[in-house]
Amino acid sequence: MNFELTDDQKQVRDMVREFAQKEVAPYIQEWDAKGEFHREVLDKMGELGILGLPIPEQYGGSGFDYVSLALACEEVEYVDTFLRVILSVHVGLNSLALLQWANEEQKQRFLVPQAMGKKIGTFGLTEPNAGSDAGSIETTAVRDGDFYVLNGAKMWISLADVADNFLVFASLDRSKKHKGLTAFVVERGMEGFTTASIKGKLGVRAGNTGELAFNNVRVPVANRIGEEGEGFKIAMSCIDQGRFTVGAGAVGLTRACLDASVKYAHERETFGVEIGRHQLVQQMIAKMALGYETSYLLTMKAAECKNRGGRNTRETSMMKWHACDVALQSADDAIQVHGAYGFSNEYPVERFWRNSRGAVIYEGPREIHTILQALRALGYREDKPLSHPQLPAVGFELEDLVTAG
């Protein structure tokens, strides 16, 4: 594996860094304190091509690889988690799923405008009574001629109030549990479909989070993604993509904790010396530095696996689990380094901690990732090939053919 970034990857990293530092960093403390979501940020990300970063140019995207996507996630979450959440739901959980599972007509109708930033996509799996246990989903779909009639609710949906296209999952037969799930694109404006904001969140306060309600929503058969009963497979492949963006973003959050702590350790003095001279402060900073490097390396490994296509659930799960745990510990240590000041919003580390807390819950809590990795290590679980495998990144198909030849 080559650890040297290509010119294209450096270009993406630098472009996203400039955007985040210029358009968001000067205002994020205020936005977070007020719980404000600024739609103009989405529009700017669309103009820059960030919302279609890994989508092929033929579908309106920028055609970059998964290393570039990881670098983008790292750079935006270095500034604030709400930016990475946009990439997670719009790109990871929705657009990449459409690239993998949608038919050509659906790609032209939904994926192209999303990749161009003209439409915003999100993902709806979690419900008031169903999270990690997708087989307990209560939202139902009933076939009625050329339509499906959806009834139910979704909870904790990022971009709920601003998205145009919602990739949601409903059960055609609840007795079949996860085998009864089917995927649909619900469009804003469909009769009976409503959204509402969720307030009072611990973290990601500058982001939009809400709930969805379906009251006899008639969804055309043409909006069904995949076949009936394939919903669970589609949802799990979506989550593979979402987990990747969450883990990559956590790398940026750890780096932000490290940089803030190093800066403060040089500025603050106790007992006549910089606090960076105290060994237990050094220990916390050393742990952050180590955690950043290990998280980055696991992310690059997962990115290379994704670049070549095929199943990468094990690698993606491991990097998400590790990187998010490291980010949470780093944020906790960063507060400790800052002492009492870390307990106030005068410094950003309390926001880092609040934001890091959610990442060890969503896209599979760390307990599930622990179990999954143990089952694979013990040989009790093996990932089976998907009927619609994840496509290689742009440019890697030719490389694979040349290698095979």
Neighbour-count burial for 30-44, b at 16+ CB within 10 Å, e otherwise: ebbeeeebbeebbeb
Residue 290 and residue 343 in contact, taking contact as beta carbons nearer than 8 Å = no
Q: From the CB of residue 103, how many other CB atoms can be counted at a distance below 10 Å?
A: 13
- The pLDDT score that the predictor gives to residue 133 is 84
Q: CB–CB of 126/134 below 8 Å?
A: no
For the chain, where do the domains classified as CATH 1.10.540.10 start and end? 7-119
| Rounded-to-integer distance, Cα 192 and Cα 217, Å | 5
CATH number given to 232-404: 1.20.140.10
d(CA 151, CA 139): 6
Helix (H) or strand (E) holding 322: helix 313-338
Q: Which amino acid is located at 243 in the chain?
A: R
- Return the amino acid letter for 310: G
24 within 8 A of 355, measured Cβ to Cβ: no
Full-model pTM? 0.95
* DSSP states along 10-58: HHHHHHHHHHHHHHTTTTHHHHHHHT---HHHHHHHHHTTGGGTTS-GG
Residue with token string 């008639």:
218
User: What are the backbone angles phi and psi of residue 160, rounded to the nearest 5°?
Assistant: -55, -40
What letter would DSSP give residue 154? E
Token duo for residue 225: 């993604």
User: What is the per-residue pLDDT for 1?
Assistant: 67
Angle subtended at Cα 317 by Cα 315 and Cα 319, rounded to the nearest 5 degrees: 70
Provide CATH 1.20.140.10 ranges for the chain: 232-404
Nearest to 283 by CA among 208, 319, 336: 336
Tens-level pLDDT at each residue, the chain (405 residues): 678 999 999 999 999 999 999 999 999 999 999 999 999 999 999 999 999 999 999 999 999 999 999 999 999 999 999 999 999 999 999 999 999 999 999 999 999 999 999 999 999 999 999 887 888 999 999 999 999 999 999 999 999 999 999 999 999 999 999 999 999 999 999 999 999 999 999 999 999 999 999 999 999 999 999 999 999 999 999 999 999 999 999 999 999 999 999 999 999 999 999 999 999 999 999 999 999 999 999 999 999 999 999 789 999 999 999 999 999 999 999 999 999 999 999 999 999 999 999 999 998 899 999 999 999 999 999 888 877 888 899 888 644 433 433
Question: What is the predicted pLDDT for the residue at 182?
Answer: 98
Distances (CA, A) of 194 to 67, 109, 162, 165, 198: 36, 22, 12, 13, 13
230 is catalytic: no
- Which amino acid belongs to residue 220? P
Question: Is 378 within 8 Å of 370 (Cβ atoms)?
Answer: no
In contact, 376 and 318? CB cutoff 8 Å: no
The pLDDT score that the predictor gives to residue 132 is: 78
CB 348 within 8 A of CB 256: yes
Q: What are phi and psi for residue 399, nearest 5 degrees?
A: -60, -40
Amino acid at 70: A
What does DSSP assign to residue 271?
A: T
Strand, helix or coil for residue 117: coil
Q: How far is CA 214 from CA 87, 135, 280, 403, in A?
A: 25, 19, 54, 49
Q: Which CATH class is domain 7-119?
A: mainly alpha
CB-count exposure of residue 348 (10 Å: 0-12, 13-18, 19+): buried
DSSP state of 379: T
pLDDT score at 398: 42
> Is residue 405 exposed (0-12), middle (13-18) or buried (19+ Cβ within 10 Å)?
exposed
The residue from 227, 363, 397, 399 that is catalytic is 363
The CATH code belonging to domain 122-229 is 2.40.110.10
